């Protein structure tokens, strides 16, 4: 019989459910409720499957070049991966090898702790302030082996000013600072431009949220070429051909669709405002969101109860059964119609 001591034991990251009901309202994994841009759908339909006999370029090829042009940097400043989870995972393996503790906020994307455990990076979870905001001073003048911050943060939805992030980056010149901008297009201030000025900053982005392409799996990092090259070396030591041809072709088409991109974001921001105001009438208190989701709590009804009753109605939101946040719900901003269904259900549950 196999010796179970040979198995790696790890508490895995727990992704949000992907339920599949015809009548469901799915507001639990921060997907974009709108389809990808028409040109993206056309590119996917046009893709010539005969090309699949060849290996794709190892570096994302034309997608990398187009992302570089879009952001006004060189291709050598761009690393492309299979969703930002892949990009972050390779960064965790490449950049935090000092033996000192990696700092990230105590309440943040729970994958950070999982990767730190998996890759045996020592870490310190930096407490948030009582109002769940991040205090930049907690990351300044403290010995650390690197810093990872999601901005806007998840699941709190709140953004830090770019000036605070610059202070952190400038105060830690020897350590790599990773800013995960998965949600920045919904109202955060990006620090992408600062990658020109600082050789210790990596900005990570994704096509999953603002570009409505969670299913394709494209993420990327922008940084100075020396850092990108170090990340590439690790990635090429794990799996060289991560970016497949369909992702490269279809991802390229998305970059060209700026107007559609801006329009869907504007719609989501409008719906977000309406959702927050409807919830407030029902007795919810919601943090100021800069993301495509909100983080909210009810004055009297426990979050777990609301979560379970919504689930019975096939309305899915996210509940984290974890210290500090177990009386909050994270709700993705859906379409207006989805938000109406949610609010109607909440009216019945709350009364």
Chain positions contacting ligand PMP, by CB under 6 A:
83-85, 109, 150, 154, 180, 182, 206, 208, 214, 219
Q: Nearest to ligand PMP by Cβ — which residue? A: 83
Q: Whole-angstrom Cα distance, residue 98 to residue 175?
A: 9
User: For ligand PMP, which is the closer residue by CB, 182 or 248?
Assistant: 182
CB environment 27-42: b (16+ within 10 A), e (fewer): bbbbbbbeebbebbee
Query: Nearest to residue 25, comparing CAs of 351, 264, 333, 330?
Result: 333
Strands 315-316 and 219-222 come out as unpaired
Least Å distance, CB 58 to ligand PMP, is 20
User: For ligand PMP, which is the closer residue by CB, 106 or 199?
Assistant: 106
Least Å distance, CB 109 to ligand PMP, is 4
Q: Whole-angstrom Cα distance, residue 319 to residue 156?
A: 12
Across the strands, what pairs with 105?
126
Quick one: DSSP state of residue 289?
A: -
Query: Nearest to residue 95, comparing CAs of 44, 148, 50?
Result: 148
Least Å distance, CB 284 to ligand PMP, is 22
User: For ligand PMP, which is the closer residue by CB, 15 or 161?
Assistant: 15
Q: How many other C-beta atoms can be found within 10 angstroms of the C-beta atom of residue 323?
A: 8
Least Å distance, CB 128 to ligand PMP, is 15
User: For ligand PMP, which is the closer residue by CB, 181 or 257?
Assistant: 181
Least Å distance, CB 154 to ligand PMP, is 4
User: For ligand PMP, which is the closer residue by CB, 29 or 98?
Assistant: 29
User: For ligand PMP, which is the closer residue by CB, 24 or 214?
Assistant: 214
Q: Pull the structure tokens for residue 42.
A: 């056309």
Least Å distance, CB 81 to ligand PMP, is 9
Q: Whole-angstrom Cα distance, residue 100 to residue 102?
A: 7
């Amino acid at each position: 019989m196999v010796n179970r001591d040979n198995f790696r034991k790890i508490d895995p990251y727990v992704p949000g459910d992907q339920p599949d009901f015809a009548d469901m309202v799915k507001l639990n994994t921060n997907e974009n409720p709108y389809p990808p841009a028409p040109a993206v759908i056309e590119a996917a339909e046009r893709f010539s499957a005969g090309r699949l006999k060849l290996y794709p370029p190892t570096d994302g090829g034309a997608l990398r070049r187009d992302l570089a042009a879009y952001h006004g940097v060189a291709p050598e400043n761009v690393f492309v991966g299979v969703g930002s989870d892949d990009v972050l995972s390779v960064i965790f393996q490449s950049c935090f090898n000092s033996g000192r503790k990696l700092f990230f906020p105590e309440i943040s994307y729970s994958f950070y702790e999982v990767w730190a455990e998996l890759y045996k990076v020592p870490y310190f979870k930096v407490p948030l302030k009582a109002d769940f905001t991040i205090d930049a001073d907690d990351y300044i003048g403290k010995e650390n082996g690197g810093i990872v911050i999601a901005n806007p943060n998840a699941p709190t939805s709140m953004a830090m000013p770019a000036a605070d992030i610059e202070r952190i980056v400038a105060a830690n010149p020897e350590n790599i600072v990773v800013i995960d901008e998965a949600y920045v297009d919904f109202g955060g201030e990006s620090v992408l431009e600062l990658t020109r000025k600082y050789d210790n900053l990596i900005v990570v982005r994704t096509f999953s949220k603002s570009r409505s392409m969670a299913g394709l799996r494209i993420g990327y990092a922008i940084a100075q070429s020396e850092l990108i090259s170090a990340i590439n070396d690790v990635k090429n030591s794990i799996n060289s051909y991560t970016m497949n041809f369909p992702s490269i072709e279809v991802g390229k088409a998305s970059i060209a669709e700026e107007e559609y991109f801006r329009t869907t974001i504007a719609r989501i921001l409008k719906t977000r405002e309406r959702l927050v105001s409807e919830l407030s009438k029902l007795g919810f208190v919601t943090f100021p969101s800069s993301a495509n989701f909100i983080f909210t709590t009810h004055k009297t009804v426990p979050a777990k109860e609301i979560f379970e009753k919504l689930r019975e109605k096939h309305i899915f939101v996210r509940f984290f059964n974890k210290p500090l946040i177990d009386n909050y719900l994270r709700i993705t901003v859906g379409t207006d119609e989805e938000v109406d269904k949610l609010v109607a259900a909440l009216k019945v549950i709350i009364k």
